[in-house]
Structure 1
Amino acid sequence: MKDRIQLKALAKINLGLDVLRRREDGYHEVKMIMQTISLHDDLEIRRIKTPEIQVKTNLYYLPTNENNLVYKAAKLLMDEFGIKEGVAIQLKKRIPVAAGMAGGSTDGAAVLWGMNQMYGLGLSRQELMERGVKLGADVPYCVQRGTALAEGIGERLSVLPSMPKCTILIAKPGISVSTKFVYENLHANDLKPEQHPDVDRMIEAMKEKNLDLLCERMGNVLETVTIPAYPVIQEIKEHMMACGAAGAMMSGSGPTVFGIFHSPVQAKAAMKDLKVNGLAKQLYLTTPYNVKR
């Protein structure tokens, strides 16, 4: 058993996001291509003698109680395995919050992974994923990482060929978008066929390792709701394309936009352009994170 463990919780983007229908239980059936990127939060977990879960973060507005997924993840395993001592979790956020990048989910997934290592619980990746689904639909994917097709309500995952090498520019405007608002205004059952991205053709492009074709076929059905409500998202996309991006799209329910560039030089120039224009509040350059399997 270890006394302390340090972890990187990696962000994700959606290269393709389709909503097939709204089910009778209120959940939405999705078909998404998820991609892990190197942008990450830092976590440190320490064992402490007092039987409690302490959470500290660098952002004053984040909850540090059971409303935070890192707390929930630690409690889930402590309850199941009867761990009597406590843990102190230090979370340094870099991933934009409420931004469609699975920031909370990946922190929760990292704590599951870290607690498993620290206490020698012997859980496999699959067993961690099964527990992760109790915390949220994105958590199992954040445990798995890499490139994956997510179906059902996001819990059915299939491994896809790795994303080709490129530079990714992340731009979050100074707004927050409620996922609930986006899904409530989607009216998935009334969408026209041309409004749905063709995720299968995107997968073909990935199998061919053709980045340009992949970018050409990218699509996110949630843009039909978010862009009319927040036009700055479209402005950021257009700026990225004008600066030479092979493709640009909103991630998840937004408002973060990512641009895919062949050249790091072009990506840096686009980052500077967005900074000068004041369109984005948070800007990061990163790369795809591909898992060796």
Structure 2
Amino acid sequence: MDQLVMKSRGKINRGLKILGKRPDGYHNLDSIMIPISLQDTITLTKRDRGLVYESNLIELDWTSDNFCKKALDLLEEKLGRTFSLEIQLEKRIPLGAGLAGGTANGASILKGLNQLYDLKLDLKDLQAWALDLGADFPFCLYDRPARVQGIGEKIQPLEGKEEAILLVNPGYQLSTPEVYAWYDQDMDRGIQDQAINDLEGPVLRRHPQLVQVRESLEATGAYEVSMSGSGPTFYAVYENQGQRDQAKEKLEGTFEKVLACSTVL
């Protein structure tokens, strides 16, 4: 096999609770993570020599911030070898959106190279190696509904069902470390929230325009509305696709990105 096409799926957090800050600076989490049908496509092709990287997003360069590069560098370091290949990345998941798009891309690189080169690496080994790259990596490698705890390393499989989802993204990115720092600042001041995502309150206090996103989704009749991950994307869950599609039609033009998708089992 000389080429492999990978589907790189985003995720939403159906609740995110922070259980405390660890001495190493990370936070212990408890979250339900669900893959969604919104996905990027990564095509890996073997080459005789060198590395070629292409993306439909010009701003997503081959730099140290690119999760594809992080994943490739990690695998080459762990295995003590260099891979000659072409990586083509077609992005559909918004950047810095709380949907783990970049992490999912990195996870696809790890799984894809394992398959393309028949490396015979165990999933648990890949998850352990990749944890240092980000807390969402073990889940994105697993890529099924799960309860995720600790700093992302504890994964408990869950049963799920396909549900109609609408995503609203304001068109800008948020830095995950910065959002967690906001949470710590608010906790130090004694500010606590009742949202199902503990990061939602700190984000809304610093980006109050996102309150309109939440309220607009709630007004469409969704039975669950929350921010995903570290934001700024909000998701809404509907009884059926018809309700979701009506909500999408209503909100398009009001917000930068309104994306229909579904949860994936």
Partner residue in 1 for 2:65: 67
Structure 2 CA distance, aligned partners of 1:222 and 1:25?
20
Partner residue in 1 for 2:248: 271
Partner residue in 2 for 1:91: 89
Partner residue in 1 for 2:174: 177
Contact 2:146-2:157 within 8 A present in 1 as well? yes
Partner residue in 1 for 2:21: 22
Structure 1 CA distance, aligned partners of 2:12 and 2:73?
28
Specify every segment of 5 or more residues in structure 2 that has no aligned partner in the other structure, as ranges: none
Give TM-score scaled by structure 2 length. 0.92
Query: RMSD across aligned C-alpha pairs, in angstroms?
Result: 2.0
From 217, 222, 234, give the equivalent of 1:240: 217
Counterpart residue identity of residue 235, structure 2: F
Distance 1:85 1:10, change over 3 A: closer
Partner residue in 2 for 1:144: 142
Counterpart residue identity of residue 149, structure 1: R
Counterpart residue identity of residue 222, structure 1: L
Structure 1 CA distance, aligned partners of 2:23 and 2:80?
38
Distance 1:80 1:222, change over 3 A: closer
From 75, 78, 82, give the equivalent of 2:76: 78
Counterpart residue identity of residue 256, structure 1: T
Identity over aligned residues, as a percent?
Answer: 34
User: Residues 106-125 of structure 1: matches in 2 within 5 Å?
Assistant: 106-125=104-123
Structure 2 CA distance, aligned partners of 1:81 and 1:225?
41
Partner residue in 2 for 1:249: 226
> How far did 1:111 drift?
0.7
Counterpart residue identity of residue 182, structure 1: V
Structure 2 CA distance, aligned partners of 1:161 and 1:191?
38
Give CA deviations for 1:79-112 in whole Å, capped at 9, x if unaligned.
4435455111000100010000111110000011
Q: Which moved more, 1:264-273 or 1:123-132?
A: 123-132
- 1:132 is paired with a residue whose SS is helix
Contact 2:145-2:159 within 8 A present in 1 as well? yes
Indicate whether 1:287 and 2:257 are aligned.
no
Contact 1:39-1:286 within 8 A present in 2 as well? yes
Counterpart residue identity of residue 21, structure 1: G
Contact 2:128-2:153 within 8 A present in 1 as well? no
Counterpart residue identity of residue 271, structure 1: K
Distance 1:73 1:85, change over 3 A: closer
Give TM-score scaled by structure 1 length. 0.84
Distance 1:189 1:165, change over 3 A: same
> How far did 1:113 drift?
0.7
Give CA deviations for 1:199-257 in whole Å, capped at 9, x if unaligned.
xxxxxxxxxxxxxxxxxxxx101111011222232212221221111111110111001
Partner residue in 2 for 1:208: none
From 223, 229, 246, give the equivalent of 2:200: 223
Contact 2:138-2:152 within 8 A present in 1 as well? no
Give CA deviations for 1:20-68 in whole Å, capped at 9, x if unaligned.
1122322212111111111100000011111x33221111111213431
